[in-house]
């Protein structure tokens, strides 16, 4: 069977880089990867990670999802503008009190995370429809299902992504095209590193002192503990994405981190939203020390589990 062509966006770092390398170095040779990024001057880490796969099963291309001309130029290099699998991964984040965020920054998040996806799908769907096959994989977020305080605009962009894909699904199935939303929680990558390093320099101009205090004294410390306790590596998310790509019947939604199952269960249990809202309020404002202690305990358990798995591998038992 000929290798399936895969177009991945946002491959200069993080999940995109890890997935591009994972698919291009597949031991069964099932994929030929076009790994794209907005700025080709950032290609160094991908080239180094790809190794001998570069120029063989992995090619690097320029693609800015916010630029329709860039999308056209990229797709014109593909036979019939067709790929078997699109992985829409390019995205940016935005954190902070709403009053301190600029409208330009908000628009950039929506342009990249939502309209960038829409433009890509609109450009690739005609060829997939003609072939009556294809797979659209979107790296969404757990925040496309549950909003988180001070992530208002980022969550809004991911909610938009989820609604777009859910609406697209039935039409896509008619043409034998699969749609999958991969929904990670926090991921330890350059994406998050840049985001939080920028946040620590925010002076909360435009917001009131109480909100600024909640952001700096409660939200940021809790976020750091949460990342340290529950975050996944880009390689872990890449493995999850590989599984849905190779599934005989790809799922529509796939959450990569089971730690978030209870959070989503609250929302499903009470469609009014009151239960989830009250639970999050209590955790943040009434039981902060308990939340941090629980996250530290989870971190310790995960560390011990990793040590156990490593020991089993060394003994040849896993």
Q: Which CATH superfamily is domain 4-258 in?
A: NAD(P)-binding Rossmann-like Domain (3.40.50.720)
Of 108, 130, 111, which is closest to residue 120 (Cα–Cα)? 111
Alpha helices in the chain (DSSP H): 14-24, 44-50, 68-75, 103-110, 116-131, 152-174, 190-199, 209-213, 220-230, 234-246, 261-269, 274-285, 288-314
Least confident of 92-101, 197-206, 212-221: 197-206
Per-residue pLDDT, 306: 57
Q: How far is CA 178 from the centre of its chain?
A: 18
Binding residues for substrate: 141
Asked whether the predicted pLDDT for residue 189 surpasses 80, the reply is: no
Binding residues for NADP(+): 10-38, 64, 158
Domain boundaries, the chain: 4-258
DSSP 34: E
Per-residue pLDDT, 292: 59
List pLDDT tens digits, range 252-305.
999 998 877 777 887 888 888 888 888 778 878 876 665 555 555 445 455 454
Would you please indicate which residues are annotated as catalytic (active-site) residues? 154
List pLDDT tens digits, range 80-101.
999 999 999 999 999 999 999 9
30 vs 37, 46, 85, CA distance in Å? 22, 20, 12
Per-residue pLDDT, 312: 59
List pLDDT tens digits, range 22-42.
999 999 999 999 999 999 999
Asked whether the predicted pLDDT for residue 202 surpasses 80, the reply is: no
Q: Confirm whether pTM is higher than 0.75.
A: yes
């Amino acid at each position: 069977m000929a290798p399936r062509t895969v177009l991945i966006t946002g491959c200069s770092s993080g999940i995109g880089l890890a997935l591009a390398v994972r698919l291009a170095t597949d031991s069964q040779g099932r994929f030929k990867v076009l790994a794209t990024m907005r700025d080709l001057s950032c290609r160094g880490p991908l080239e180094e990670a790809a190794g001998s796969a570069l120029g063989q099963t992995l090619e690097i291309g320029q693609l800015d999802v916010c630029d329709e001309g860039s999308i056209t130029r990229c797709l014109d290099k593909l036979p019939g503008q067709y790929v078997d699998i699109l992985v829409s991964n390019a995205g940016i984040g935005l954190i902070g009190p709403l009053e301190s965020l600029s409208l330009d920054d908000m628009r950039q998040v929506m342009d990249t995370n939502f309209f960038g996806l829409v433009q890509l799908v609109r450009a690739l769907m005609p060829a997939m429809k003609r072939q009556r096959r294809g797979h659209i994989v979107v790296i969404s977020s757990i925040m496309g299902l549950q909003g988180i305080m001070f992530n208002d605009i980022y969550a809004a962009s991911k909610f938009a992504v989820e609604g777009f894909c859910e609406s697209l699904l039935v039409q896509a199935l008619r043409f034998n095209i699969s749609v999958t939303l991969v929904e990670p929680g926090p991921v330890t990558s350059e994406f998050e590193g840049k985001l939080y390093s920028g946040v620590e320099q925010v002076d909360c101009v435009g917001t009131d002192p109480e909100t600024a205090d909640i952001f700096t004294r409660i939200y940021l410390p809790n976020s750091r503990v949460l990342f340290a306790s529950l975050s996944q590596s880009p390689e872990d998310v890449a493995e999850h994405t590989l599984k849905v790509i190779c599934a005989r019947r790809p799922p529509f939604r796939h959450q990569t981190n089971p730690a978030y199952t209870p959070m989503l269960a609250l929302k499903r249990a009470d469609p009014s939203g009151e239960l989830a809202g009250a639970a999050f309020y209590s955790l943040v404002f009434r039981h902060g020390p308990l939340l941090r202690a629980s996250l530290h305990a989870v971190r310790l358990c995960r560390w011990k589990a990793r040590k156990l798995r490593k020991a089993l591998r060394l003994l040849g038992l896993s």
